[in-house]
Amino acid sequence: MTIAIGDNIPQTTFSALKDGVQAVDTKDVFAGRKLVLFAVPGAFTPTCSAKHLPGYVEHLEAFKARGIDVACVAVNDAFVMDAWAKHQSVPEGLQMLADGNGNLTKALGLELDATAFGMGLRSKRFALYAEDGVVKQLHVEAPGEFKVSAAEYVLEHLPK
């Protein structure tokens, strides 16, 4: 079952590279804050590297000006996410989260079977906006598209 507007973000863990690989609980990521979490099918993949992540890097200050934090998640390990962040010049205020085993992706019901492409289980491309862990908006891309999860689209559709 896919997560829906009004649902709580399921409790699970990500990992992040900070003085070694550290577990990060979804409660710690979402509690008490407004957050846009966007998911990419994979770090270093074409659309993710050329458009998706760069859009959020470019517009990070516009999100912050509205009191909204931003995090990126992919079904990759923390080392890959850290390397990708460095390669893309991701500023410190944009959290890069690894969902290496796809725990959150599966809990959200947003997994993508990319085994036909040799990529295994991945995440669908999406963006969600949550307040204190409650989903307020959910933008899931149709297969092969990049529109509704783009930073510009999400910014335009956030509550005023």
- The owner of tokens 């529109």 is 147
Computed from CA positions of residues 130, 22, 72, 94, in that sequence, does the dihedral angle turn out positive or negative?
A: positive
Q: Is 72 a catalytic residue?
A: no
Taking alpha carbons only, the member of 64, 65, 53 closest to residue 93 is: 64
Catalytic residue among 48, 68, 96, 97: 48
* d(C-alpha 16, C-alpha 147), whole Å: 27
Residue 4, φ and ψ in degrees, nearest 5? -130, 165
Q: Return the amino acid letter for 50.
A: A
CA distances from 126 to 20, 21, 23, 80, 90 (A): 28, 25, 23, 20, 19
Residue 82, φ and ψ in degrees, nearest 5? -65, -45
Q: Which residues are catalytic?
A: 48
